[in-house]
């Protein structure tokens, strides 16, 4: 079945918006704007947030603290229901989770723009799903699109939990990993509908396994990166400044750093083999982005972790993840053809 160029482009645009959500989310985090909107999906009870504190009720902190307490209670009940009673008790008994921040227009609008990108991405995915139902109705792409649309809804709901729990670190990690799954499924959908992405990539056995290993390490690296970020959040709460973070980070940071060099060695070997015979642009692209990723990582480790570099580090990591995902999908197609 052939798919129109406009449909294929539409889904690429949806992928761009998904990436923009990840980028905006990182910017929210480095600016400390995660609690810029104390409620969800509205912001201070409004679809368009205020720009000045004087338009809010005098007791706005108490109002939103009460609403958050209700959400936390429901979430803890959900966690207990799936066997995470200890986690639920820890969240329930943490009084810091219902402490409201003072209104800050810059943080509020930073978080609000992040939500707008999420809204746009979700609507593009919804429109693509409706488009498929009306025009194409192929079972496989209907299923992929539906699952990803549901996951996007879950991601939105979980975003409200992240806010309700006042940015409990592990919820941010889950939020990030779910975003990677959504990116992967969107790429799978694009592969199914785009003739260019369906062309198989033939590699020898060694190169195929190298690609799979690098992909696995990259995914694990992103998980470790979120762990490192959690430790940074904890250090920040304890009053430690940027200049002391690197020396106080735990084993996850050193594993994360070591694996970065391992990926570089493996990717260098892959690039060398690729340039001898295959000259596959995905491998070249992954290597270029990996180099930029490592440079940003060095700056994070030795330049007191400047905020914008943190965002760049995440952007490069998610782009590498996307490129390697496309490579793996097409290798799988090649093996099955």
pLDDT of 9 > 90? The answer is yes
Give Cα separations from 78 to 73, 85, 184, 313 (angstroms). 9, 9, 27, 34
pLDDT in tens, 39-62: 877 888 888 988 888 888 888 888
Return the higher-pLDDT residue of 143 and 74: 143
Please report the pLDDT score of residue 261 as a whole number.
85
43 three-class SS: strand
Per residue, the 3-state secondary structure of 255-269, as one string, reads HHHHHHHHHHHHHHH
Which residue ranges make up each domain of the chain? Answer: 1-195, 199-337
pLDDT of 1 > 70? The answer is no
Please report the pLDDT score of residue 322 as a whole number.
92
Please report the pLDDT score of residue 334 as a whole number.
44
* Count of C-beta atoms within a 10 Å radius of residue 102: 8
pLDDT of 333 > 50? The answer is no
pLDDT of 224 > 90? The answer is no
pTM of the model: 0.83
- Rounded Cα distance between 109 and 28, Å, is 10
pLDDT of 301 > 80? The answer is no
pLDDT of 332 > 70? The answer is no
- Rounded Cα distance between 74 and 72, Å, is 5
Average pLDDT, the chain: 83
pLDDT in tens, 122-171: 999 999 999 999 988 888 999 999 999 999 998 888 877 776 666 566 77
Please report the pLDDT score of residue 124 as a whole number.
96
| Residues 6 or more apart whose Cβ sits within 8 Å of residue 280 | 201, 203, 274, 327
- Rounded Cα distance between 139 and 132, Å, is 10
Per residue, the 3-state secondary structure of 104-173, as one string, reads CHHHHHHHHHHHHHHHHHHHHHHHHHHHHHHHHCCHHHHHHHHHHHHHHHHHHHHHHHHHHCCCCHHHHH
Where does the pLDDT of residue 336 fall: very low under 50, low under 70, confident under 90, or very high at 90 and above? very low
pLDDT in tens, 243-284: 666 666 667 777 777 888 888 899 999 899 888 887 888 989
With left for phi above 0 and alpha for psi between -120 and 50, is residue 101 left, alpha or beta?
Answer: beta
pLDDT of 75 > 60? The answer is yes
pLDDT of 94 > 50? The answer is yes
Return the higher-pLDDT residue of 327 and 240: 327
Check whether the bond before 23 is cis (ω within 30° of 0). no
Please report the pLDDT score of residue 101 as a whole number.
77
Please report the pLDDT score of residue 13 as a whole number.
96
pLDDT in tens, 304-314: 556 667 778 78
* Count of C-beta atoms within a 10 Å radius of residue 234: 12
DSSP state at residue 46:
B
Q: What is the share, in percent, of the chain residues with pLDDT greater than 70?
A: 87
Please report the pLDDT score of residue 220 as a whole number.
85
* Count of C-beta atoms within a 10 Å radius of residue 269: 14
Where does the pLDDT of residue 29 fall: very low under 50, low under 70, confident under 90, or very high at 90 and above? confident
Please report the pLDDT score of residue 337 as a whole number.
41
């Amino acid at each position: 079945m052939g798919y129109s160029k406009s449909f294929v482009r539409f889904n690429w645009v949806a992928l761009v918006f998904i990436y923009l959500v990840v980028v905006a989310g990182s910017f929210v985090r480095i600016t400390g704007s995660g609690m810029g909107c104390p409620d969800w999906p509205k912001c201070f009870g409004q679809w368009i947030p205020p720009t000045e504190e004087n338009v809010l009720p005098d007791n706005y902190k108490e109002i939103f603290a009460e609403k958050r307490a209700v959400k936390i209670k429901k979430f803890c009940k959900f966690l207990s229901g799936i066997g995470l009673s200890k986690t639920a008790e820890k969240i329930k008994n943490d009084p810091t989770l219902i402490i409201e921040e003072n209104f800050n227009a810059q943080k509020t609008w930073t978080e609000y723009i992040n939500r707008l990108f999420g809204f746009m991405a979700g609507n593009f995915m919804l429109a693509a799903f409706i488009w498929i139902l009306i025009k194409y109705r192929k079972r496989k792409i209907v299923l992929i699109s539906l699952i990803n649309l549901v996951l996007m809804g879950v991601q939105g709901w979980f975003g409200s939990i992240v806010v309700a729990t006042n940015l409990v670190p592990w919820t941010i990690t889950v939020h990030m990993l779910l975003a990677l799954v959504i990116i992967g499924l969107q790429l799978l959908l694009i592969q199914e509908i785009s003739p260019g992405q369906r062309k198989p990539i033939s590699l020898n056995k060694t190169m195929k396994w190298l690609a799979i290993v690098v992909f696995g390490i990259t995914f694990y690296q992103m998980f470790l990166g979120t762990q490192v970020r959690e430790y940074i959040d904890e250090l920040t709460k304890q009053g430690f400044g940027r200049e002391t973070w690197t020396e106080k980070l735990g084993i996850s940071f050193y594993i994360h750093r070591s694996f970065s060099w391992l990926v570089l060695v493996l990717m260098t070997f892959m690039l060398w083999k690729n340039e001898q015979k295959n000259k596959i642009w995905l491998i070249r692209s992954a290597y270029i982005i990996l180099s930029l990723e490592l440079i940003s990582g060095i700056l994070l480790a030795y330049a007191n972790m400047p905020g914008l570099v943190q965002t760049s580090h995440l952007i490069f990591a998610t782009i590498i993840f996307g490129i390697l995902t496309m490579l793996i999908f097409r290798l799988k197609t090649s093996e099955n053809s």
